[in-house]
Amino acid sequence: MAVPFVLEGWTTVEQPGSDGAVTLCLKGRVFGHPRFNSADSVTTSAITSYREEGDVLIVISRNGSEYVLSRPLNGKPFAKKRLMRQLMEMKCRSVPNDKHLTQTVRMPVSPEWAADHAAASDEEENDPHTPG
């Protein structure tokens, strides 16, 4: 199972694409991403699809990265609903859940969990006794 990246303090960012069309990206603090330190501010590539697992919204970027959305920026109460409306307006596709690919609903997905899991993965990779 892939480790989900958690995006906290997120907000939407509309950016012009190379073809002139507007793309929807998200900006926030990332946790659990191997290329960034925990709590680094990042802007995703264009969001192409999304899925809902229970109350959890997961967005998938053009690069194939999946981000579990935690708290929005400044705790805006309707941020998730606005994002869902934008995703539908921009014709981002909804991806059905595949229980064989993900277990997000059953995981304690939080920035703290992602940071702890990423640290444990780093320790395993650096352990000379771990088969690789």
Identify the pLDDT of residue 100: 47
Identify the pLDDT of residue 13: 94
Domain spans of the chain, in order of start:
5-125
Q: How far apart (Å, rounded) are the C-alpha atoms in residues 52 and 94?
A: 8
For the chain, the distance separating the N- and C-terminal CA atoms, rounded to the nearest angstrom, is: 16
Identify the pLDDT of residue 92: 87
Q: How far apart (Å, rounded) are the C-alpha atoms in residues 40 and 37?
A: 6
Sequence letter at residue 6: V
Structure tokens at 120: 């444990």
Identify the pLDDT of residue 116: 59
Identify the pLDDT of residue 1: 37
CB 77 within 8 A of CB 130: no
Is 0.75 topped by the overall pTM?
no
Convert the pLDDT of each residue in 16-55 to its tens digit.
877 888 899 999 999 988 899 989 999 999 999 999 888 8
Identify the pLDDT of residue 115: 54
Residue appearing with tokens 């992602």: 114
Identify the pLDDT of residue 76: 77
Q: Residue 66 above 70 pLDDT?
A: yes
Convert the pLDDT of each residue in 90-127 to its tens digit.
888 888 765 544 444 444 455 565 555 555 544 544 44
Per-position b or e across 93-130, b if 16+ CB within 10 A of its CB: eebeeeeeebebeebebebebbbebbeeeeeeeeeeee
Q: In this structure, what DSSP letter does residue 38 have?
A: T
Mean pLDDT of 126-132: 43
Q: How far apart (Å, rounded) are the C-alpha atoms in residues 59 and 25?
A: 10
Identify the pLDDT of residue 26: 96
Q: How far apart (Å, rounded) are the C-alpha atoms in residues 132 and 116?
A: 21
